Structure formats: structure tokens, C-alpha cells
């Protein structure tokens, strides 16, 4: 029954025709009748209230990475307001984590609902005492938006937790394949696991890519290779890495070189899987490496990668923590690849607000209870929020809208790149919704650009060494795009 | 100013005289005017609605560890209700995670508040865009209940995350001590960190104790030593362990033997710190090992342990994920020890609903931003919930109440242990509030006892191989204790 519900919702999502931009624009106006029409910068940045607020907070909490202290009560739609009343058009959206804009009325209703209040006040240990409505909450939400072919879900609390529990599932699966799914553990395994030694704690590994980002706890950080500052001083597992394609732009002028680069990387992946001293249980990959610089690869690359994992009997884990939930113009970015079979595991967090992983193979559920387990096993309140986000996206065709808006935005940026070829290089993300990025001339130029944008009322983020990434919410429209482009041009023209 | 606010709240908490039980009983009646007066078991267990609900949920979520599917709408105070309408007196409380009982009216108000709705709907990336009210939310909540001497907090999402970020802080601190707090990283460190190698990813370690439980992600799991089922098939760091005292009961009859056992364990800790091949950055310890069997040690042991950490220049991390927030008759269990100086770091989660760690030393904040960092850096909604939990506990002297109720409960259990000496052995937790446990004759007898208790309307959990642990909410009173004792006696008398 749950499967049917999910399939029906999913079919509806796929089959529904794309509405016209006009219809979509009125939706955003419905959501946000009082959305500002332009950014307003009233003070120098940071303003006096910000300075006070940072000083106060910094006594008890690390604020050195703070752009500013935000007033979320006044933030609205695509606009974020700081405590000085400065109003920014937001194309960063809490590091890609706001799907429907600030103070979305549907989300407010969901948050206020008796069901959500109940879930907060009586937060269950879902593994031992699941709540009576959790099956429906999942079916109507997280599973209604599940990627094609993946019909089960494990809920966790963060992107790091989602990836780490996925890795745990992969290790247990891989050892079960070797041992037999229902074969009991040996005495030696049992004893050695308690002292962190092989064979009970096997010397196995997860292969990740150079410049990947998969989180910052110990297992996920061992697969993160984005920047030294993420990794320095933290012990890590002896796990392998392979090169991620470094594509040349524009793509249409570099077809052969890019194909050769992807081939080189794939060969290296397979060579590493075959030769790494700690056997590889899974390969984890982002559809677009985000923190690491918005690095793209072609569908052919990912298809080839999946073939390699199948050929070598390792699992294929797609990390959609940042790429998922509509921003690329598909609900899940890996849908762009048209894989012949689904990935083994796909992880999510951020815009879903809930976190976890999807899977299908029943053998990815370990052979005994309490193996994939913790006190909370997720959070029904976040699953309720996810349900509304997914339902609003599906009901209002926000993925299709984002695809259109992204195409429009990309075209405008392409034109700007012609005008400012030094400042906008390696423009990327064509046909990937609003998941667009480019490179500045240098890290310093990038940092200055971001700062200048903020001074002009645009909240925007970087990635990699000199990348600028766009991560607006799914309610970002043509009119916001025009404003965004005008600010970028204003900054670049100086 | 924040410090003052915290100190004032803290002083008020310490200075306020303990109210009489009469006054406290009326508080619970105020909270829960409709709390059931006795458990009611209407069906065989699991009942027909449970079977249906489990079948439905199991299609998409692992339910093999489920005791039953709970109806949290009908649960009230100390009573949890299942989907068949069976009503259990609850001394397990979502694996020790419900502080104020089910559907607590103060918590419902907090959950419904505009502030909480705002925090849910506009969930911020707290490191980059902290919310305008976060400083006050922390000051009035998590910091109002902070352990003596620890005035800063890092917020995370789970007990595992709290411990892992604490370990990260310890590793960064330890390396900074070696390198100099503001000394730049070497080229070799930077390059090696990116391939998970030393010196950038140092081969350092956290020392934990045998039968400890600190969580189930890769770093925390490497310090967990409770049961093989928690660890099998998961790669782990080569980190050391030391024996935790195995005390003999009753304590007053085994003073010398227990002192010798604690001395033996402390000697082993120091020997291991001095000799382990991967240098030890921190020792992590639970005040009472909970999942591992409710294993206690004396204040002298923990004082000795702190002395060892100081003498060897390693950090002393106290994991209060399960022991914290009042259940032991102190707000934090380590307050029972009267340490001469606070621990370096104390972690929390569960009953706080929010998670994270407290600390004081400013050098435990890494020398650069983005080193201790992730997308959300906590969750203001959970901090709002924590604030109400802490405020209600402080305002209503629930820690003192729990101490009294625990003493009463312990006395009753002591009497039962005399009557049923085979069934109640190693009774422990005297003067530790309701954080009481005992051992059954065997693992099978324990499992049967838990099952028989449920059949008689008592929701109760185990720990370790044959332990029975009590983890009621802080609103568990004398009348609930009498009922609890009568059910235990009924089960044992069969």
C-alpha cells in the first residue's frame, strides 16, 4: 500500500505537464505577497546592530564564520534581512538548505500543526517505539519524492549522519556478501570487533573523489577531500581517492579533451578499487561536487562509474545532500544521468530538512536489528517538514520552474561572461536548473566579488578555491534573476 | 552579560531550597490532570492494531527493534499508550530521552511559540547566518543549565555528533598545543591531510573504557565498547581501551575490594596513555556506563582519572548524553564527584533534546573559523525545546524531586532484593536519583522479566548482558514508584 502511494505520487510528479512561467510567478506572489521588490542596504556592513549581536553571541558560541546575524522574523521569500534591517536578495539560502523561501506559509502551517507539535514534544526513539503516524508521514513525504527505484528509507539527522549510516550499511552488506547474509559471526569476529581490530572491525574502505565533500564527522570526513581546513588535525581512515574529472569550458568546445579526462578518471577509479590495500566496499560520489568547487561530469561518466561498481561488486552511493530536492532542474540530480538501474544508495539532507538515505535492496538492511540503530533513528518533526517541502514542490511544479529559471539565468550569465571574460570563467551548470557556478580570476578576486555583492544587497556564496556558486531557493523566479544579474553586472562593471 | 545571566540562573538553581514532596506532587498533577492512575493492558501483546501498524511501517522502515507502535497523542505524563490502547507506566522514556513526561503542557507551549515556528521554518546555517535570538535562547536555556565552570557551548544534533565534535575539538587542541596555537600549518601537514595521512591527519587516539557506549558513527563507535552487535563489520580507529571498574555489591560490604579494583583500572589507564602507539588526545568516560550495563564507579575513581589526564596532558571528556539532565539527582551526574576543577569538555543530548558539548578553555575553540563547522551547527528549534526543559526543571526543582523519589525507589527495591535475592542482584544507583539498575540471574531471565513487565503494563528497558535499567522521566513520583514496585513484585512472585 505504501509502495502504491509512493508510485502514484511519483508518477503524478513525472507526468504532470510543465506550467507556464506566468502561472508560476503567481504562485510565488501567493506565497509571498509582501516579498521585497529590491534589496535595501541601510548601513555599512556589518552595521551597528550586527556588531552588538556578534559580540554578544561570540561570548558563548563561535561566530568567526558569521556573515551577519539574521532576522528571520523579517526575512521573506527570496530575501534575507539582517539585524540592522539590511535586506539581501538571497542566492545562497543557508548553504543550499532553504527550499521554499523564508517564512513560507505552507511550511508555517505544517510547523504549527498538531502533528508536528506532538512530534516535537514527544520525540520518539523511532527504532523501539515508532509513532503511529510515521508510516504515513514517510509515505506522503520522503517516499513521495523518493528517487526512481529506491523505495525504502533510513532517516538520520544530518548530511554527515546520512552518509555515515549509508557507509555502515555498505560495510555490513559487503561483509554479509562475503560471509553469507544469515551466517553467524565467528568468535574471532566478535572478539576482535571489541578491540577495533580485523576481522570484526574490517580494514575496508570507501572510495571517494578528489575535491569531494561528504561531511565532517570521522567517517564522512575521511571521504571529504575538499579543503585542508576541513581535515587538518583530525585522524582519518586509510581510504582511497580517485581523480574527479577536471572539465574544460565551454563544454561544446572541449568535447574530446573532456571525454579523455573522464576516461582517465574512470580508469583510475577501477585501478584503485582493484588495488587498494583496504578493500573497497563502496564508491561515493556527488552528482556535482559542491563545496569542492561545483565540479561537473557528464552522464556518461556516471554511467561508466556505475558500471565499474557493478563489475567490481562494490556499492554505488550517490550523495545528493547538496544537489538534491530540485535545484538542478530534476528532483534528484542523478536523474539527469538516465542510469539503466538506480544507484544502490542515495543520501539526502539540506533542502529536505530531514536527512537519511534511500535504498531498495532488502539486503541493505542488516541481518539483525540493532545493527543500524541509534536512540532517535531520525526525527518525525523533520520528516513532517520534509513532507510539506516535497508536497509543495510536486504540487507547484517547482522543479520544472527551477529548470526554466535556471536556463534563463544561465543565458544571462553567458552574455555577461562575454562582456567580462576575465571575471566570469568556466561558467557551468547549463541545463542544471539554478545550480550554476563560475570561477573568478583568483581566490582574492572571488572573495572581493562576494563582499561587493553583499554591499549591493546580494547574499551569495563561494565554493572551491575561486568558485562562485548559486544556490537560490526553488521560488527564485525570472524577476529575481533579473535583479541578481543587474547586481552582478554592477559589481563587475566597477 | 550572557555570563551574568547564566551565573544568576545557575546560582538560583543551586541556592533554591528543596521543596517538600507534597508541593512537588501537586506540580505533576498540574502538568497532567488527566494522567492515568494505573496501566491498562487490553490485548495480547502485540495487539491486532500493532501487528497491522508494524506490517505497514516495515515495508519502508526497519521495525525489527520495535517494542510496539506508540500513540503519542494519547500518551500522558508517565504513561505511554500503544496503538491498541494499551497503557504502560513508562520507566524507559524513549531510551532515557523524555525529561518532562509525555505531552507536557509547558513544552507544548514552547513548541507552538512563534519563536519555535520561526526556527523550524527558517532553519539557519548557524555558523554563517546565526539568528538574532540565538544568543538569548542559549543564555536562557542550555547555558542556564550548564555544568559549573563550563560557560561555552557547541551545538550539534545527536549524542554521537556531540561526542565526535568534542573529539575533533580535542584533537585540534592537542595538535595546537604541540604546534603552537597560532602557528601556521606546515606544507607537509596540508598536503598529507588531503590523503588522510600523518602528520596532517595525525595518528592520534581517544581512550575509552571497556563496556562504554559513546555513539554509533565512525569516530564515536571507535570509542564504543558495549556490545559486538554495535561494532561488527564497521571499520574502526586503532584507539585504546582501559578496564572500567567492576564493582561488587553491596558497596558497603566490598569497600576494600572495590577500592583495589578502581586502583587497578586507573593504573591501567595511565599505563595505556603512556604507552599507546597512537598518542592519546583525550579520555572519554560516562559517569555511569549506561548501555554497557549501568556500571558505576566512585567519585574517587573519577577524581583520580582527572588527575591522570592532567598529569599526562590529555583532555578529560565526560559523556553525559545519558546521565545528564537531572535523572541522577544532580543536574549533571559528574556534579556528584566534586571535582576540584571542571572537566575539559562535557557532552549532552537525549533528555536535553538539543545536543552538543560544553567547555570553558578558549583554546578549545580552534584557531581558525570553519575548522569546527558544518551546515547547520545545531538546531535553534531544539535549543528552544531544551530551554523549556531546563527552565521547567530549575523552576520546579525536578532534580531535587528526582533525588528524593530515587531514594524512595531504591529503598523499596532493596527490600525486594532481600525477598528475591536471585532475581535482583547487584542493585546499584543508591543516591543517584532514579538512575537505578540491577541484574537478573541470566540474559534469558532478564529478557523474560522485561517481557513479563510489559504484559503487566510496565514499559522498562535492559542494558548490558543481564541488566535492568530504570530511566523514568523527572516527573516520576512516589505514587508512580509504588505502582512500579507492585508490578515488579507481581512479576517476580510468579
| Cβ separation A61–B153 shorter than 8 A | yes
Do B91 and B476 form a contact (C-beta atoms < 8 A)?
yes
Q: What interhelical angle do A2-15 and A380-395 show, nearest 10? A: 40
Q: How many CB atoms lie within 10 A of CB B357?
A: 28
The 3-state DSSP class for residue A347 equals strand
**What would the pLDDT profile of A331-352 be if each residue is shown by its tens digit?**
999 999 999 999 999 999 999 9
What's the gap in Å between the CA of A418 and the closest CA on chain B?
A: 32
Average pLDDT, chain B: 94
Is B294 part of the annotated catalytic residue set?
no
Which residue, among B93, B13, B17, B38, has the nearest Cα to B475 in the 3D structure? B93
> Among partner residues B95, B160, B239, which is closest to A128 by beta-carbon distance?
B95
| Cβ separation A121–B139 shorter than 8 A | no
Q: How far apart are CA B41 and CA B137, in angstroms?
A: 41
pLDDT surpasses 60 at A9: no
Phi-psi map region of B149: left, alpha, beta (phi>0 left; psi -120 to 50 alpha): left
| Cβ separation B233–A172 shorter than 8 A | yes
**What would the pLDDT profile of A89-113 be if each residue is shown by its tens digit?**
999 999 999 999 999 999 999 999 9
> Among partner residues A65, A131, A164, which is closest to B72 by beta-carbon distance?
A131
Q: How far apart are CA B331 and CA B115, in angstroms?
A: 26
Is B490 part of the annotated catalytic residue set?
no
**What would the pLDDT profile of B216-229 be if each residue is shown by its tens digit?**
999 999 999 999 99
Residues of B in contact with A159 (CB under 8 A): 374-375
What residue has cell string 573504557?
B209
Is A397 part of the annotated catalytic residue set?
no
| Cβ separation A124–B216 shorter than 8 A | no
**What would the pLDDT profile of B48-100 be if each residue is shown by its tens digit?**
999 999 999 999 899 999 999 999 999 999 999 999 999 999 999 999 999 99
| Cβ separation A234–B168 shorter than 8 A | yes
What ipTM does the predicted assembly reach?
Answer: 0.95
What's the gap in Å between the CA of B340 and the closest CA on chain A?
A: 23
Mean pLDDT across the stretch B250-264?
Answer: 97
Do B130 and B124 form a contact (C-beta atoms < 8 A)?
yes
Which residue, among A212, A248, A218, has the nearest Cα to A233 in the 3D structure? A218
> Among partner residues A1, A194, A196, which is closest to B56 by beta-carbon distance?
A1
Count contacts between A and B (CB, < 8 Å). 386
Residues of A in contact with B153 (CB under 8 A): 60-61
> Among partner residues B126, B195, B217, which is closest to A218 by beta-carbon distance?
B217
> Among partner residues A164, A185, A238, which is closest to B217 by beta-carbon distance?
A164
Question: Cα A433 from chain centroid?
Answer: 14
Q: How far apart are CA A458 and CA A454, in angstroms?
A: 5
**What would the pLDDT profile of B154-198 be if each residue is shown by its tens digit?**
999 999 999 999 999 999 999 999 999 999 999 999 999 999 999
Q: How far apart are CA A477 and CA A480, in angstroms?
A: 5
DSSP symbol at B184:
P
Q: Give the HSE-up count for residue B462: Cα atoms under 13 Å, Cβ half-sphere.
A: 21
**What would the pLDDT profile of A370-402 be if each residue is shown by its tens digit?**
999 999 999 999 999 999 999 999 999 999 999
Quote helix, strand, coil % in chain A, to nearest 5.
45, 15, 45
Paired strand residues for A77? A102
Q: How many CB atoms lie within 10 A of CB A465?
A: 14
Which residue, among A159, A148, A31, A183, has the nearest Cα to A100 in the 3D structure? A31
- Interface-testing mutation among A4, A56, A60, with chain B (most B C-beta atoms within 10 A): A60
Residues of B in contact with A454 (CB under 8 A): none
Q: Give the HSE-up count for residue A190: Cα atoms under 13 Å, Cβ half-sphere.
A: 6
pLDDT at res. B26: 59
Is A375 part of the annotated catalytic residue set?
yes
Per-residue pLDDT band for B397 (boundaries 50, 70, 90) equals very high
What does the block give as the cell for A132? Answer: 503511529
In angstroms, what is the C-alpha Rg of chain B? Answer: 23
The 3-state DSSP class for residue B161 equals helix
What residue has cell string 508494524?
B54
Give the active site residue among B209, B213, B449, B484: B213
| Cβ separation A64–B368 shorter than 8 A | yes
Q: Residue B354 — φ and ψ, nearest 5°?
A: -75, 160
Q: Residue A160 — φ and ψ, nearest 5°?
A: -60, -45
Give the active site residue among B82, B319, B397, B423: B319
Residues of B in contact with A117 (CB under 8 A): 108, 111-112
Helix (H) / strand (E) containing B458: strand B458-459
Residue of A nearest to B349 (CA): A375
**What would the pLDDT profile of B308-325 be if each residue is shown by its tens digit?**
999 999 999 999 999 999
pLDDT at res. A29: 82
DSSP string covering B358-418, please?
EE--GGGS-SSTTSS--SSSS-HHHHHHHHHHHHHHHHTTHHHHHHHHHHHHHHHHHHHHH
Do B485 and B438 form a contact (C-beta atoms < 8 A)?
no
Cα-Cα-Cα-Cα dihedral sign, residues A478, A483, A484, A485: positive
Helix (H) / strand (E) containing B23: helix B21-31
Residue of A nearest to B373 (CA): A216
Do B210 and B243 form a contact (C-beta atoms < 8 A)?
yes
Paired strand residues for B348? B356
Per-residue pLDDT band for A158 (boundaries 50, 70, 90) equals very high
| Cβ separation A112–B108 shorter than 8 A | no
pLDDT at res. B28: 78
| Cβ separation B185–A232 shorter than 8 A | yes
Q: Give the HSE-up count for residue A56: Cα atoms under 13 Å, Cβ half-sphere.
A: 22
Do A304 and A228 form a contact (C-beta atoms < 8 A)?
no
Strand-strand pairing, B467-469 and B461-463: antiparallel
pLDDT at res. B19: 44
Q: How far apart are CA A426 and CA B242, in angstroms?
A: 54
Q: What interhelical angle do A299-311 and A255-275 show, nearest 10? A: 20
Residues of B in contact with A462 (CB under 8 A): none
Q: CATH for A27-91+397-493, among 3.90.1150.10, 3.30.710.10, 2.60.40.10, 3.50.50.60?
A: 3.90.1150.10
Cα-Cα-Cα-Cα dihedral sign, residues B191, B194, B198, B204: positive
Mean pLDDT across the stretch A56-60?
Answer: 93
**What would the pLDDT profile of B92-114 be if each residue is shown by its tens digit?**
999 999 999 999 999 999 999 99
Residues of A in contact with B239 (CB under 8 A): 196
Q: Which CATH class is domain B114-395?
A: alpha beta
Helix (H) / strand (E) containing A285: strand A280-285
Angle at B305 between CA B303 and CA B306, to 5 degrees: 65
Report the side by side order of strands in the sheet with A280-285: A152-156, A355-359, A345-348, A315-319, A280-285, A205-209, A241-242
pLDDT surpasses 50 at A221: yes
pLDDT at res. A26: 59
Q: How far apart are CA A437 and CA A429, in angstroms?
A: 7
Q: Rounded to 10 degrees, what is the CA torsion of A159, A161, A162, A167? A: 130
**What would the pLDDT profile of B440-490 be if each residue is shown by its tens digit?**
999 999 999 999 999 999 999 999 999 999 999 999 999 999 999 999 999
| Cβ separation B61–A134 shorter than 8 A | yes
The 3-state DSSP class for residue A351 equals helix
Q: Give the HSE-up count for residue B212: Cα atoms under 13 Å, Cβ half-sphere.
A: 30
| Cβ separation A118–B53 shorter than 8 A | no
**What would the pLDDT profile of B335-351 be if each residue is shown by its tens digit?**
999 999 999 999 999 99
Q: How far apart are CA A91 and CA B132, in angstroms?
A: 20
What's the gap in Å between the CA of A482 and the closest CA on chain B?
A: 25
What's the gap in Å between the CA of A345 and the closest CA on chain B?
A: 14
DSSP string covering A85-132, please?
--EEEESSHHHHT-SS-BT-HHHHHHHHSHHHHHHHHT---TTTS-BT
Which residues, 6 or more positions from A237, have their beta carbon under 8 angstroms from its beta carbon? A205, A218, A219, A222, A278, B196, B218, B235, B237
What does the block give as the cell for B132? Answer: 538574532
Mean pLDDT across the stretch A218-238?
Answer: 98
pLDDT surpasses 90 at A17: no
> Among partner residues B70, B104, B126, which is closest to A131 by beta-carbon distance?
B70
| Cβ separation B60–A104 shorter than 8 A | no
| Cβ separation A228–B190 shorter than 8 A | yes
Cα-Cα-Cα-Cα dihedral sign, residues B252, B256, B257, B263: positive
Residues of A in contact with B375 (CB under 8 A): 94-95, 97, 158-159, 349-350
Residues of B in contact with A349 (CB under 8 A): 375
Residues of A in contact with B381 (CB under 8 A): 120, 381
pLDDT surpasses 60 at B2: no
Give the active site residue among A301, A323, A348, A350: A350
Spans of all domains in chain A: 27-91+397-493, 114-395
DSSP string covering A58-81, please?
HTTS--TT-S--B-TTT-BBTEEE
Amino acid at each position: 500500500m505504501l509502495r502504491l502511494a509512493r508510485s502514484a505520487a511519483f508518477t503524478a510528479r513525472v507526468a504532470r505537464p510543465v506550467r507556464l512561467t506566468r502561472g508560476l510567478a503567481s504562485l510565488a506572489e501567493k506565497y509571498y505577497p509582501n516579498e521585497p521588490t529590491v534589496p535595501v542596504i541601510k548601513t555599512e556592513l556589518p552595521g551597528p546592530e550586527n556588531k552588538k549581536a556578534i559580540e554578544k553571541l561570540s561570548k558563548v558560541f563561535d561566530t568567526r564564520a558569521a556573515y551577519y546575524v539574521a532576522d528571520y522574523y523579517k526575512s521573506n521569500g527570496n530575501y534575507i534581512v539582517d539585524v540592522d534591517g539590511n535586506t539581501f536578495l538571497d542566492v545562497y539560502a543557508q548553504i543550499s538548505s532553504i527550499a521554499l523561501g523564508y517564512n513560507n506559509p505552507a511550511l508555517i502551517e505544517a510547523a504549527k500543526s498538531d502533528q508536528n507539535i506532538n512530534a516535537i514534544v514527544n520525540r520518539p526513539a523511532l527504532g523501539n517505539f515508532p509513532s503511529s503516524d510515521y508510516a504515513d508521514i514517510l509515505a506522503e513525504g520522503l517516499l513521495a519524492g523518493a528517487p526512481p527505484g529506491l523505495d525504502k528509507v533510513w532517516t538520520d539527522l544530518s548530511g554527515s549522519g546520512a552518509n555515515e549510516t549509508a557507509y555502515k550499511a555498505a560495510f555490513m552488506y559487503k561483509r554479509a556478501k562475503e560471509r553469507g547474509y544469515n551466517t553467524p559471526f565467528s568468535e574471532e569476529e566478535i572478539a576482535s570487533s571489541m578491540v577495533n581490530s580485523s576481522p570484526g572491525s574490517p580494514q575496508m574502505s570507501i572510495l571517494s573523489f578528489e575535491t569531494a565533500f561528504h561531511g565532517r564527522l570521522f567517517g564522512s570526513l575521511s571521504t571529504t577531500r575538499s579543503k585542508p581546513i576541513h581535515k587538518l588535525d583530525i585522524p582519518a581512515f586509510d581510504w582511497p581517492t580517485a581523480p574527479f574529472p577536471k572539465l574544460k569550458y565551454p563544454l561544446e568546445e572541449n568535447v574530446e579533451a573532456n571525454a579523455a579526462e573522464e576516461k582517465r578518471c574512470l580508469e583510475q577509479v577501477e585501478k584503485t578499487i582493484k588495488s587498494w590495500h583496504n578493500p573497497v566496499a563502496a564508491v561515493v560520489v556527488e552528482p556535482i561536487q559542491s563545496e569542492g568547487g561545483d565540479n561537473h561530469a557528464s552522464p556518461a561518466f556516471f554511467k561508466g562509474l556505475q558500471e565499474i561498481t557493478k563489475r567490481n561488486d562494490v556499492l554505488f552511493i550517490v550523495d545528493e545532500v547538496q544537489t538534491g530536492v530540485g535545484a538542478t532542474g530534476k528532483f534528484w540530480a542523478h536523474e539527469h544521468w538516465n542510469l539503466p538501474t538506480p544507484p544502490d544508495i542515495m543520501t539526502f539532507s539540506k533542502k529536505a530538512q530531514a536527512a537519511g538515505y534511500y535504498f531498495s535492496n532488502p539486503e541493505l538492511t542488516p541481518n539483525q536489528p540493532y545493527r543500524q540503530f541509534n536512540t532517535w533513528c531520525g526525527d518525525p518533526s523533520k520528516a513532517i517538514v520534509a513532507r510539506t517541502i516535497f508536497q509543495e514542490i510536486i504540487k507547484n511544479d517547482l522543479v520544472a520552474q527551477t529548470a526554466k529559471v535556471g536556463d534563463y539565468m544561465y543565458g544571462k550569465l553567458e552574455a555577461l561572461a562575454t562582456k567580462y571574460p576575465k571575471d566570469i570563467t568556466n561558467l557551468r551548470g547549463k541545463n542544471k536548473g539554478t545550480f550554476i557556478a563560475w570561477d573568478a580570476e583568483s581566490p582574492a578576486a572571488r572573495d572581493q566579488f562576494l563582499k561587493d555583492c553583499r554591499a549591493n544587497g546580494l547574499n551569495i556564496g563561494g565554493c572551491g578555491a575561486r568558485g562562485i556558486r548559486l544556490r537560490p531557493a526553488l521560488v527564485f523566479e525570472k524577476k529575481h534573476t533579473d535583479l541578481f544579474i543587474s547586481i552582478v553586472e554592477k559589481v563587475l562593471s566597477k
